[in-house]
Amino acid sequence: MQSLAPADPYTTEFEAVVESRDDDELVLDETYCYAESGGQPPDRGTLAGERIVDVQERDGEVVHALADAPTAEVGETIAGRIDPAFRTYCMRSHTASHVLYGAGRRLFDDLGYGGFDIDDHKVRVDLATPTTIDDTALVTLERLVNRAVWDSKDVSWETAPREAALARDDVAFNTKTEEGIGGEEVRLVEVDGWDVAACGGTHVRNTREIGPVAVLDRSNPGEGVTRVEFAVGPAAIQRRSVEKTAALDAAAVLETRVTDLPDAVARLRDERDAIAAERTTRRGGRPPRHQRTRRAGDRPRG
């Protein structure tokens, strides 16, 4: 029995019958709790009033681990309550990762999907590409993602025969986890006119539900792989606020406008270089004292 969460991600309250239990672990006849998979964390919430601490799929069953052993017995009907805020956050974040990958496809050749992860504060996507992803590319990625959000693109999911999905050039597969590739059918998540990927996660029905997205950082965890980290929603708003404040402060110090900061910084750099060159000339072409190499036998003055 698989979780019903991917097919119906907006359901956060349900009732189910206890099929088996082992101390603080329960297996139900059906569940809307998402089991950790493919970089998306498990749902939070309660079962029979006890806090859910983990949800995993084992041997074809969804196992719910609770903070304390519940009083519910096998055959008893219990209530499930999924944390709606965390579920919505994961839906938005996971869909945003698909939108970002779709943006990457428009910018880079031979793009591969190398990994994905959601935590409480940020999302990361690993992009496998021989192309260098510099600051300019990051800004373009963020702009394209937020434009796709603004354009309110429909998001849908369906299953397709495995071989047919693998034969399609437009379908992205997570090559690291091989998520969604096992079995005879593949679940495809499509952002209309933007991206199609094999995925078993929970998603929003329209990109406008994602909200603002802010790229935070990039790194290189391996050769040919660039890790892009981004924030969604309130965290993205906070990041933009911090960056805007820093830009305004810098502009005030340089007595210019934010949009003219690059020119102001360039002028400062030119002035610095000119002063350094003048000092070198006054010393007879010798480099500044801190740049000289001490000769063997020289003793420091004291």
Whether the predicted pLDDT of 166 surpasses 90:
no
Note whether residue 300 is domain-resident: no
Claim to verify: residue 160 and residue 215 sit in the same structural domain: yes
Asked if 175 and 71 sit in the same domain, the reply is: no
Structural domain contains residue 171: yes
Q: Is residue 206 part of a domain?
A: yes
Q: Say yes or no: 75 and 40 in one domain.
A: yes
* Spatial strand order in the sheet of 225-232: 112-118, 123-128, 225-232, 213-222
Report the 3 state secondary structure along the chain. Answer: CCCCCCCCCCCCEEEEEEEEEECCEEEECCCCCCCCECCECCCCEEECCEEEEEEEEECCEEEEEECCCCCCCCCCEEEEEECHHHHHHHHHHHHHHHHHHHHHHHHCCCCEEEEEEECCCCEEEEEECCCCCCHHHHHHHHHHHHHHHHCCCEEEEEEEEHHHHHHCCCEECECCCCCCCCCCEEEEEEECCCEEEECCCCCCCEHHHCCCEEEEEEEEEECCEEEEEEEECHHHHHHHHHHHHHHHHHHHHCCCCHHHHHHHHHHHHHHHHHHHHHHHHHCCCCCCHHHCCCCCCCCCCC
Q: What pLDDT, in 10s, does the model give residues 250-262? A: 999 999 999 998 9
pLDDT tens-digit readout, 87-127: 999 999 999 999 999 999 999 988 888 888 999 999 999 99
pLDDT tens digits for range 229-272: 999 999 999 999 999 999 999 999 999 999 998 999 999 999 99
Domain end, chosen from 56, 82, 108, is at: 82
> Which structural domain, as residue segments, surrounds residue 102?
88-240
Q: Is residue 38 part of a domain?
A: yes
pLDDT tens for 29-72 read: 999 999 999 899 999 999 999 999 999 999 999 999 999 988 88
Domain holding 62: CATH number?
Answer: 2.40.30.130
Same domain for 128 and 268?
A: no
Total domains in the fold of the chain: 3
Q: What is the pLDDT of residue 301?
A: 47
Are the C-beta atoms of 221 and 132 separated by less than 8 Å?
no
Using CB atoms within 10 A of its CB, is residue 12 exposed (0-12), middle (13-18) or buried (19+)?
buried
